Structure 1
């Protein structure tokens, strides 16, 4: 006579879901952090501008007047260096998406019985944390090199603006990588966009010093709001930066909505 097996407790249902999410996050970290080429491409522009351009121009220019405050040029340029770090790291996150598709890994991942929402959430969390981590590294190096005159509220405002900028631009490049299906097109767009975004924003100069055409372009340039948000929050506090922070939050909401829908549609075609 066969013995009937019974269980006193139901099998766990929450743990596998958490395990799936943690597995996706761990895989994204490994994909982005262990690739030396990706790390070099994302770190090199930030280090060049921080260690060479920033120090050289600071000695050349000396100080600059910004919204009635006289600033050392090194302090004025800091948001530009942080923004370049964010853009470079966000572009690397987009490249990683193409790498996993070209290697066939994406097909295997989407064939695994896992909720797509957890896969998308894990990819977003890993991408944002890596972008933010690299930007914090740049901020730490800058704090060691330059004497940053920020108070407690200034540091808090800078960190909030930096976090929002990392979230917004990671979403922007992720949406572009998912929408654009050709890898070479994305690579050209990613590399060219860094220069266009940085130099059409008030990064090395104030808006009043820019030509009229560039002032118009800077108004629709998302990096303008990241740079102004970090600069104003660090120097004057949240009250002077809330408009820029709100724009960054709206950019993040729109881009992640586009990226999420596009990624799910793209997965169905694999």
Structure 2
């Protein structure tokens, strides 16, 4: 007579399926939080510009004319500082993919009966939350140092645009990390992209004051829409920022579509 194996302690199927997302989130947060080198690299540029460049230039340039209103330079510069934090944190989050590949963890993960949709969702949630947490930290430090004249709608608009920027750039860097398979090439691209994106966008200056060639570059620079979206939402409200926010939404959809498909295809080939 053939005996049937029974596992009395095995969790129900529904419970096991619900637990895989929490397990992926726990692993992703541990992976991102324990790598102090990447966290320092992500925080340093933002804090340097916030504490040194912003304070120094605010004493040199007190007021900037922006869309017909006079804006204090510290207020004008805040979206650039937050955008730099978003880009740095998005690059840090995407580097986790290469850690998994180099350490062999990716092979172990996909050898386990883990739903690919939950793995992808866990990566998206963990990556975006890291970007937002780092950016909100910078915003908190800025609030302690500077006085911002935003009303309730301005603060809500700024946080909404910041969230959309985090989604957009986390998706774009995820797509780039999936497309580029060489870790060193991605490291170079990630570090070089920060100053290129920041200084070819209307970060320290308005679009009208930029040379014509840089105005063309700014028009295709994704960071332009993040900076303008946060700046317009904070100063003028949602009605003046919805166009830039819409561009960020499209960027997020494209980035996660390309990155998600590439990630799932890579998993099938392991």
- The separation in 2 between residues aligned to 1:60 and 1:37, in whole angstroms, is 34
The corresponding residue for 1:150 is 150
- The separation in 1 between residues aligned to 2:17 and 2:151, in whole angstroms, is 42
TM-score scaled by length of structure 1: 0.95
Could you tell me how far 1:13 is from its partner in structure 2? 3.1
Give 3-state SS (helix, strand or coil) of 1:213's partner.
Answer: helix
User: Which aligned pairs between 1:121-270 and structure 2 lie closer than 5 A?
Assistant: 121-270=121-270
Could you tell me how far 1:188 is from its partner in structure 2? 0.7
The corresponding residue for 2:77 is 77
Runs (4 or more) in structure 1 with deviation over 4 Å come to none
Give 3-state SS (helix, strand or coil) of 2:20's partner.
Answer: helix
- The separation in 1 between residues aligned to 2:18 and 2:153, in whole angstroms, is 36
Could you tell me how far 1:123 is from its partner in structure 2? 0.5
Could you tell me how far 1:193 is from its partner in structure 2? 0.5
Alignment deviations for residues 43-80 of structure 1 (CA, whole Å, 9 cap, x no partner)? 00110000001110111111111011111101000000
Give 3-state SS (helix, strand or coil) of 2:181's partner.
Answer: coil
Q: Are 1:62 and 2:62 an aligned pair?
A: yes
Alignment deviations for residues 140-197 of structure 1 (CA, whole Å, 9 cap, x no partner)? 1101100000000000000000000000000000110011000111011100100110
Could you tell me how far 1:14 is from its partner in structure 2? 2.7
Could you tell me how far 1:110 is from its partner in structure 2? 1.1
TM-score scaled by length of structure 2: 0.95
Matched pairs, number: 265
- The separation in 1 between residues aligned to 2:13 and 2:164, in whole angstroms, is 34
The corresponding residue for 2:120 is 120
The corresponding residue for 1:26 is 26
- The separation in 2 between residues aligned to 1:149 and 1:115, in whole angstroms, is 47
Could you tell me how far 1:239 is from its partner in structure 2? 0.2
- The separation in 2 between residues aligned to 1:209 and 1:15, in whole angstroms, is 58
User: Which aligned pairs between 1:92-103 and structure 2 lie closer than 5 A?
Assistant: 92-103=92-103
- The separation in 1 between residues aligned to 2:41 and 2:24, in whole angstroms, is 23
Give 3-state SS (helix, strand or coil) of 1:177's partner.
Answer: helix
- The separation in 2 between residues aligned to 1:126 and 1:94, in whole angstroms, is 11
The corresponding residue for 2:52 is 52
- The separation in 2 between residues aligned to 1:157 and 1:246, in whole angstroms, is 13
The corresponding residue for 2:14 is 14
Aligned-residue CA RMSD in angstroms? 1.7
- The separation in 1 between residues aligned to 2:174 and 2:26, in whole angstroms, is 18
